[in-house]
Amino acid sequence: MSEPFDLRDTFAHLKASGAEPVATGPDFWAELASGDRRYPGRLAMILPMTEDFPHWERHPAGEELIVMLSGACTLILETAAGETRTHLDAGKAMLVPTGVWHRAEILKPGEALFVTEGEGSEHKPL
């Protein structure tokens, strides 16, 4: 049996045949973006939602589930028709479609659960 862990500092790597905890560190995001770390499947994590996203992001390998656990935000998706804005309060969730650029503006600080593809995330400046 596994030991409990905190999704705020340890990711859950959800594989096709099970799951495993993945400890993060100062180089985690850079290694993930560069491909030096590979996690086929999904990663689940809880992140603070205290500041607007400093960039756009997208996930070409699959959709992303965002669940507001506390607080509130406006999720902004960049589509061919322009930006769409969706308000998310605590307990509300949204699936961001595969490959769609998105960001969030914080209305009330809180936390969100993210479940996203473990490989291939991209970022671009605002």
pLDDT per residue as tens digits for the range 17-60: 889 999 888 888 778 777 788 888 899 999 999 999 999 999 99
Question: Hey, where are the domains in the chain?
Answer: 10-125
What would be the CATH architecture of the domain defined by 10-125? Sandwich (2.60)
* The one-letter amino acid at 59: H
Q: Look at residue 1 in the predicted model and tell me its pLDDT.
A: 53
Over the range 19-42, which residues count as b (16 or more CB within 10 Å of their CB) and which as e?
Answer: eeebeeeeeeeeebeeeeeebebb
Looking at the chain, list the stretches that DSSP marks H as alpha helix, in order from N- to C-terminal side: 28-34
The answer to whether the beta carbons of residues 66 and 90 sit under 8 Å apart is no
User: What pTM was estimated for this model as a whole?
Assistant: 0.91
Q: pLDDT tens-digit profile of 48-107? A: 999 999 999 999 999 999 999 999 999 999 999 999 999 999 999 999 999 999 999 999
